[in-house]
Amino acid sequence: MIGEDKALNSDYLDSQLVSSMKPGWPKEKAVPLVFAEKKLFVACAIDEKDTLIETLKPMVNNIPIELMEVKKESLNSPAPAPKQEASAAAAPEAPKKKNTLGSELLATLDQIESRSINATDENAIGNEVKMLMAKAAKIGCSDIHFEPLENALIARFRIDGVLRDIYKYPCTKQADYRKILIARIKIIADLNIAESRIPQDGRVTENVDGMKLDLRVSTLPCLHGEKCVIRLLPHENSFLELSDLGMTDDLIPEFEGWLGRSQGMVLITGPTGSGKTSTLYTSLAKLVDTTKNVVTVEDPVEFQLARVNQVQVNAKAGLTFAAGLRSILRQDPDIVMIGEIRDRETAEIAIKASLTGHLVLSTLHTNGAAETVVRLIDMGVEPYLASSALVGVAAQRLLRRVCKDCAEDYKPTEKELKVLGKENDPEKDKIILSRGKGCQNCNNTGYSGREGIFEVMPVNSEMKEIIQKNADIEAIKAIMERENMTTLYDHAVKKVLMKKSTVEELLRVADKSD
């Protein structure tokens, strides 16, 4: 199934896996789910487990298979439909048949800027790859995708969470960029260029245009060649100051005060993709000096920090967050960073560490600062321990910035003033906001780049009392309000009034009731 003649693509792997099963694959007994960690995960019925492995292995070029037991009935549910984009490349049984939606997508290819490079000039090929990496790094792109189509290779960038087509490389027999460019990237990432039938991945640091880039490269065999994705990992230098993340001067002294403590626990919370890891790393970078032993336990280690001892979680080998943390505490640490607190055991060890002379930083997956306290107690942490340990909690989200190239000033409507809490402001007529008209640089979205909004909640003595008693969210929120602590909503309002973002974006990201 992972053969060169079959279509696979990380974006729609599960449906593609299903539709590309080899003839003779026992469909009623085994359904491939996902290819991850260099293994193919296959769902199978409980009583079939032993016999299946031997049948399936030769059909997938002997790559390791992990069987996941499911009820027999669930194997017969219909496979998810492949995404539109896949239609041209999928369905080996009927390669000629293209649906209308797929054809329309292919028609948009005409609009992508076309590049041609001398296919026999090694330098030109190397420079093209470096040019793409430099361009991506400069505009803050997180991933570069190379997608092989029937007669072209498309380069796409993921910017602010959205993929955009950047260049197209039309391919001929003499100049097949699907092979030439991908081979060059594989050489850079130290992958096996002779092997194009199985997925590969690697990690490398490259110097491009004076920038040091940490790259994670992965390849995946698809119908028209190998698809390659380069993830640009954030680099140490990208985390200099809290203000670069969007924290404003009214919040920074409080937050930095927490980081200056010799013991206690500081938590950063938010959903996935809210930027909390960047805040954690920026905080840690501020704390590193030659007099301190800074240790982290992470899953995964997202990027390397100088003079920090970073431990990678390896659950299979028994090195869990909790186990790692226990070992770290025997190593005389001053500052401990835990990538994420997911369970009671980790929470308890972390709290005990923060009560015995260590500063502990971590993240938790909750919506707001007040909820975080309650979540810890729901996890089973003793309220008196939580209340003693917590120094402060910062909740955060990412807000899109108005594109500087097409920003225009405008007078807000009454409705917008109300959202901003300014409907009764005597100065409301003077308020001017900003919005992006849309231009080429922002792909007509009116936005370019993102920055954080923060809710910074110091856990004061009054809160500690409430946490010990019953940890009531509403009571904690009441204190926040009385003490004029900035909420996520307040901070988003501030960013809109500073003309950095828009009312529309505020409403998308922050909820007044939070």
What residues line the site for Zn ion (CB under 5 A)? 403, 405-406, 436, 439, 441-442
Q: How far is the CB of 218 from Zn ion (least distance, A)?
A: 31
Task: Give the integer Cα–Cα distance in Å for 254 and 459.
Answer: 11
Nearer to Zn ion, 241 or 408 (CB): 408
**Could you tell me which residues come within 8 angstroms of residue 303 by beta carbon, excluding any fewer than 6 positions away?**
214, 233, 234, 235, 236, 281
Residue 435 CB, shortest distance to Zn ion, in Å, is 10
Q: Nearest approach, Cβ of 504 to Zn ion (angstroms)?
A: 15
Instruction: Considering the complex, state which of residue 29 and residue 401 has its C-beta at the smaller distance from Zn ion.
Output: 401
- Residue closer to Zn ion by CB (options 344, 508) is 508
Whole-angstrom Cα distance, residue 317 to residue 26?
33
Closest to 27 in 3D by CA, of 97, 100, 67, 79: 79
- Token pair recorded at residue 279: 């805040």
In this complex, which beta carbon is closest to Zn ion, that of residue 247 or of residue 406?
406
Find out whether 295 and 311 touch, Cβ atoms under 8 Å.
yes
If the CB atoms of residues 139 and 439 are measured against Zn ion, the closer one turns out to be 439
- List all residues 6 or more positions away from 44 whose beta carbon is below 8 Å from its beta carbon: 29, 30, 31, 52, 67, 68, 69, 70, 75
Helix (H, G, I), strand (E, B) or coil at 139: coil
Please return the burial class of 70, using the count of CB atoms within 10 Å of its CB with bins 0-12, 13-18 and 19+.
middle
Q: How many whole angstroms separate alpha carbon 109 and alpha carbon 116?
A: 15
- In contact, 256 and 248? CB cutoff 8 Å: no
Nearer to Zn ion, 408 or 462 (CB): 408
Q: Which is nearer to Zn ion, 152 or 406 (CB)?
A: 406
Contact 486, 394 (CB under 8 A): no
Bridge-partner residues for 207, per DSSP? 212
Cα–Cα distance measured from residue 322 to residue 180, given in angstroms and rounded to the nearest whole number: 46
Q: Please, are residues 417 and 411 in contact by the beta-carbon 8 Å criterion?
A: no
Nearer to Zn ion, 55 or 445 (CB): 445
Rounded least distance, CB 438 to Zn ion, Å:
6
CB of 362 to Zn ion, least distance (A): 37
Comparing CB distances to Zn ion, the nearer of 405 and 462 is 405
* In the complex, least distance from residue 401 CB atom to Zn ion, rounded to whole angstroms: 10
Q: How far is the CB of 407 from Zn ion (least distance, A)?
A: 8
Task: Tell me the closest approach of the beta carbon of residue 495 to Zn ion, in angstroms.
Answer: 18
DSSP 95: T
Q: How far is the CB of 162 from Zn ion (least distance, A)?
A: 14
Q: How far is the CB of 179 from Zn ion (least distance, A)?
A: 36
Closest distance of CB 496 from Zn ion, Å: 17
Indicate the residue type of 187: I
Question: Given the complex with Zn ion, which of 42 and 406 has the nearer CB atom?
Answer: 406
- The residue among 242 and 403 lying less far from Zn ion, judged by its C-beta, is 403
Q: Closest CB to Zn ion among 310 and 441?
A: 441
- Which structure tokens are listed for 424? 């009764």
Q: What does the buried/exposed string (b/e) look like for 291-328 if buried means 16 or more CB atoms within 10 Å of the residue's CB? A: eeebbbbbbebbbebeebebbebeeeeebbbbbbbeeb
SS3 of residue 108 by DSSP: helix
3 state SS of 84: helix
**DSSP per-residue string spanning 220-266:** EEETTEEEEEEEEEPPGGG---GGGGT--TTTHHHHHHHHT-SSEEE
What is the smallest separation between the CB atom of 441 and Zn ion, expressed in angstroms?
Answer: 5
